[in-house]
Amino acid sequence: MSSKPAPRASRGPLYLTLPALAVLVLVMAVPLGVIVLRSFMEPEPGFANYVWFFQTKVNITVLLRTFSIASWVTVCCVLAAYPYAFAMSVAGPRLRLALIMCVLVPFWVSGVVRTLAWVILLQDSGVINRVLLSMGFEKVRLIRTQLGVTIGMTQVLLPFMIMPLYAVMRGIDLRLLQAAQSLGAHPIKTFFQIYLPLSLPGVFAGATIVFILALGFYITPLLLGGPQSTMLSTLIQQQVLSLLNWGRGGAMGVVLLIVTFGVLGAASPFMRRKYQLSGGSR
Amino acid sequence: MTLNTSTKGAAVDIRGVSKFYGSFTALDDISLRVEPGEFMSFLGPSGSGKTTTLNLIAGFTDLSAGEIRLGEQSIGHVPAHKRNIGVVFQHYALFPHMSVAQNVAYPLKQRGIAKADRTRAVDQALQKVQLDKFAHRYPSELSGGQQQRVALARAMVFTPSLLLMDEPLGALDKKLREVLQLEIRRIHRELGSTFVYVTHDQEEALVLSDRIAVFNKGRIEQVGSGHQLYTRPETLFVGQFIGESSVLRGAHSAGGAETALTIAGATLVAPGQARADAPHVILLRPESVMVQASGTGPKDGMTNILGGTVREMLYLGAAMKYEVTLADGNHVIARTPTQDEPFAIGSAVELAWNPKDGTLLADDGSTAGHEG
């Protein structure tokens, strides 16, 4: 019933974070620093790599395409995950377990295997096209298109949308909808005025995770996409591993990183809540 | 639309209402009329059907059989959002993403009230519950008692002719409950709306209500004022649920205007006629029973005499409370004015009472004790 947030714990347990911090510094901060450094230092000190990045048309096209695909994937994930997470939050314990398993089992399958499964489904002579043909429709180009990449990435990233949404929805008191009805709101209005606003923090949390993960996606666009659906990560890989140009590859990575921080910064005001979900006793 | 004191409450007419969940009968053919402007409490243990009845009136649950009328209108098939009934919940049910003022304005917004009128009505409603300074806070920043005041303001701001309250004080501590009880009484007087108040706390029901409907096992046992229920319970369940009591069980002889029961070797008389085929009991209120020294015998009309041993003696300031064990092992509670020389624990005493102070009731098998 207490309305005040729990007092912050003391600083004592900070040392408990040391092992994880050590790993993060070693595998994250150090290589990142090296990459940033090399993007400015190779082949010679200066901003040459960044000038090259923004002056090369392909880079800009791919950067914008990366954004566009990530946005579409995010939208698709929200639309698919919202009703699913709602069903999970209101289901009985058995159905809920089954629904959670359906989300998690694909997680346990390697991303490469899952993507190859999509290749089988999406390719020109694949399952989807054969079904379409047998029903009298024309063949649809799915593989090596942005549509194919979007479908595949949506499936891979869906759990990252469902889980935060479910966590927020589970905390929403459905009796609030009853209260809203007693106050004169039509049941459909109670959804838009009460339920949706209360679930938005989950939508923003999931959308941010999905969007940022999608920006850096590599394997799925590589296997399902074609030249017209290359994403930035593929270009970086080419620069670094095929052309051994660490400077340019690093500069592209830094651009992607800064853009990602920009997205996080833009989203953070929406993630802050000035209210607690549970209004009172339970 | 503004708050005013002339709002007229509407009558609630419950006619032959039943509610089944599969094979379970939650409500079994109840009928009840709540008068316009009346404060009626539904009192009963959990699972007795009182909240089910409230949910049926509010429209949160569908009727299985019967009819409910609000004023002149049959509301059984009117959806909840069109019934225009205020509801206050035990769990407050404030919208956490809206400020106090937005919460209270919500029902007015649904009714398309203009912003200026809305603001005025919200201010008045918040003043009524003494929370006008908290209008811009969020529910999570308020204490439980303050949250329930906001819920109260929100339920009455649209001047409904009927206000339903489902154990609104159940989550609050005793002191705060007493303060809010007084506020609810005052608001009832000021609004003039009909109030239906669900509680399992008999003291709360006695303090607040004009009349109380006692629910048990999906039926209404008795409807009446607190005084009627206390002094003239019609069933043993009601007698035991309202107030403190002792129950004397014994074989009875069918008689005329009075019935005699044989209890712990003594013959005790109570007014009323018992059916020969059913077991009966005498229900005694603690304040009707006198504790006196053994061998004192009948005096001042207290002709029912029963011997026993003091098992417990409590000093309560103005009064003393005795628990006396009878020869048959049962206990009787007596409350007497403070005596200078009280009977010690273990001493043999006599219990005496006037036959007309005992209530003869059919034994419906209910046992003492209501939830705390």
The pLDDT value recorded for residue A278 is 44
Count of other CB atoms within 10 angstroms of residue A3: 17
B101 in the same domain as B22: yes
Main-chain phi, psi angles of B234, to 5 degrees? -95, -20
According to DSSP, residue B344 is labeled P
The pLDDT value recorded for residue A279 is 39
Mark yes or no for CB contact B96/A281 under 8 Å: no
Examine residue B35 and state whether it is found in any structural domain, yes or no. yes
Residue B100 has pLDDT above 90, yes or no: yes
B103 in the same domain as B73: yes
Domain limits for position B69 = 12-235
Helix (H) / strand (E) element for B69: namely strand B65-70
A277 interfacial to chain B (CB closer than 8 Å): yes
> Which residue of B84, B86, B92 is in closest CB contact with A279?
B92
Residue A272 has pLDDT above 80, yes or no: no
Instruction: For residue B147, list chain A residues with Cβ-Cβ distance below 8 A.
Output: 3, 279-280
Mark yes or no for CB contact A279/B83 under 8 Å: no
DSSP codes of every residue in A3-71: -SPPPPP-SGGGGGGHHHHHHHIIIIIHHHHHHHHHHHHSSSSSSHHHHHHHH-HHHHHHHHHHHHHHH
The pLDDT value recorded for residue B39 is 97
Residue A9 has pLDDT above 60, yes or no: no
Residue A4 has pLDDT above 60, yes or no: no
User: Beta partners for B267?
Assistant: B262
Mean of the pLDDT values across residues A254-269? Answer: 87
**A residues 152-181 lying closer than 8 A (beta carbon) to B:** 173, 175-176, 178-181
Write the CATH number for B357: 2.40.50.100
| Tally of CA atoms within 13 A in the half-sphere of B18 that contains its CB | 10
Examine residue B367 and state whether it is found in any structural domain, yes or no. no
Taking each helix axis from N to C terminus, what angle separates A146-170 and A111-122, rounded to the nearest 10 degrees?
Answer: 130
CA torsion through residues B292, B298, B304, B307, sign:
positive
Question: Where does a domain end: B215, B235, B255?
Answer: B235
Mark yes or no for CB contact A180/B171 under 8 Å: no
B120 in the same domain as B158: yes
Residue A277 has pLDDT above 80, yes or no: no
The pLDDT value recorded for residue A93 is 93
Give the whole-number percent of chain B exceeding pLDDT 90. Answer: 74
The pLDDT value recorded for residue A273 is 61
Residue B350 has pLDDT above 60, yes or no: yes
Count of other CB atoms within 10 angstroms of residue B5: 8
Question: Where does a domain end: B202, B235, B268?
Answer: B235
Query: Six-digit token pair at B91?
Result: 């769990």
Residue B82 has pLDDT above 70, yes or no: yes
List pLDDT tens digits, range B11-70: 999 999 999 999 999 999 999 999 999 999 999 999 999 999 999 999 999 999 999 999
As a whole number of angstroms, the distance between CA B227 and CA B206 comes to: 8
B249 in the same domain as B182: no
The pLDDT value recorded for residue B4 is 38
B273 in the same domain as B225: no
Placement of tokens 């930035």 in the chain = A232
CB contact at 8 A, B190 and A219: no
As a whole number of angstroms, the distance between CA B130 and CA B151 comes to: 13
Mean of the pLDDT values across residues B171-176? Answer: 88
Mean of the pLDDT values across residues B107-130? Answer: 94
B293 in the same domain as B166: no
The pLDDT value recorded for residue A172 is 93
Pick from B88, B89, B63, B86: which is nearest to B76 by CA? B63
Instruction: For residue A275, list chain B residues with Cβ-Cβ distance below 8 A.
Output: 96-97, 138-140
Nearest CA in chain B to A189: B110
Mark yes or no for CB contact B106/A281 under 8 Å: no
List, as own/partner pairs, every contact residues A85-89 make where C-beta atoms lie below 8 angstroms and the sequence separation is at least 24, other chains included. Answer: A85/A161, A85/A162, A85/A165, A85/A166, A85/A169, A85/A202, A86/A169, A88/A162, A88/A166, A88/A169, A88/A170, A89/A166, A89/A169, A89/A170, A89/A172
| Tally of CA atoms within 13 A in the half-sphere of A196 that contains its CB | 8
Q: Exposure string (b/e) for A233-263, b if CB count within 10 Å is 16 or more? A: bbbbeebbeeeebbbbbbbbbbbbeebbeeb
A210 interfacial to chain B (CB closer than 8 Å): no
Question: Which residues, 6+ apart, have CB-to-CB distance to A24 below 8 Å?
Answer: none
Mean of the pLDDT values across residues A157-173? Answer: 94
C-alpha R_g of chain A: 23
**How much is the ipTM here?**
0.82
Residue B158 has pLDDT above 90, yes or no: yes
Mark yes or no for CB contact A3/B143 under 8 Å: yes
Mean of the pLDDT values across residues A100-120? Answer: 85
As a whole number of angstroms, the distance between CA B251 and CA B282 comes to: 11
According to DSSP, residue A2 is labeled -
Mark yes or no for CB contact B60/A189 under 8 Å: no
A63-72, A168-177, B139-148, B243-252: lowest mean pLDDT where? B243-252
> Which residue of B110, B138, B147 is in closest CB contact with A183?
B110
Mark yes or no for CB contact A280/B91 under 8 Å: yes
Query: Six-digit token pair at B66?
Result: 């019967």
Residue B5 has pLDDT above 50, yes or no: no
As a whole number of angstroms, the distance between CA B189 and CA B141 comes to: 30
Question: Where does a domain end: B209, B235, B261?
Answer: B235
Examine residue B371 and state whether it is found in any structural domain, yes or no. no
- Å between B146 CA and nearest CA of chain A: 10
B55 in the same domain as B201: yes
CB contact at 8 A, B221 and B235: yes
As a whole number of angstroms, the distance between CA B10 and CA B34 comes to: 9
HEC sequence for A221-272 = HHHHCCHHHCCHHHHHHHHHHHCCCHHHHHHHHHHHHHHHHHHHHHHHHHHC
B250 in the same domain as B231: no
B203 in the same domain as B122: yes
Query: Six-digit token pair at B88?
Result: 């206050």
- Å between A8 CA and nearest CA of chain B: 17
Residue B369 has pLDDT above 80, yes or no: no
B288 in the same domain as B154: no
The pLDDT value recorded for residue A1 is 41
Mark yes or no for CB contact A183/B93 under 8 Å: no
Query: Six-digit token pair at B152?
Result: 């109260």
Pick from B195, B100, B140: which is nearest to A171 by CA? B140
List pLDDT tens digits, range A182-199: 999 999 999 999 999 999
Query: What mean pLDDT, rounded, does chain A reach?
Result: 87
Main-chain phi, psi angles of B338, to 5 degrees? -60, 130
Write the CATH number for B100: 3.40.50.300
B312 in the same domain as B274: yes
Instruction: For residue A181, list chain B residues with Cβ-Cβ distance below 8 A.
Output: 59-60, 79-81
Mean of the pLDDT values across residues A55-80? Answer: 94
Structural domains in chain B (count): 2
A268 interfacial to chain B (CB closer than 8 Å): no
> Which residue of A182, A276, A281 is in closest CB contact with B144?
A281
Mean of the pLDDT values across residues A31-40? Answer: 92
Examine residue B289 and state whether it is found in any structural domain, yes or no. yes
Tell me which amino acid residue B34 is: V
Mark yes or no for CB contact A281/B171 under 8 Å: yes
Query: What mean pLDDT, rounded, does chain B reach?
Result: 90
Mean of the pLDDT values across residues A10-28? Answer: 85
The pLDDT value recorded for residue A125 is 85
Pairing type for strands B162-166 and B86-88 reads parallel
The pLDDT value recorded for residue B295 is 87
- Å between B196 CA and nearest CA of chain A: 15
Q: Which domains does chain A have, with CATH numbers?
A: 45-172+198-271 (1.10.3720.10)
Give the whole-number percent of chain A exceeding pLDDT 90. Answer: 53
Q: Exposure string (b/e) for B258-280, b if CB count within 10 Å is 16 or more? A: ebbbebbebebbbeeebeeeeeb
Mark yes or no for CB contact B87/A182 under 8 Å: yes
B176 in the same domain as B34: yes
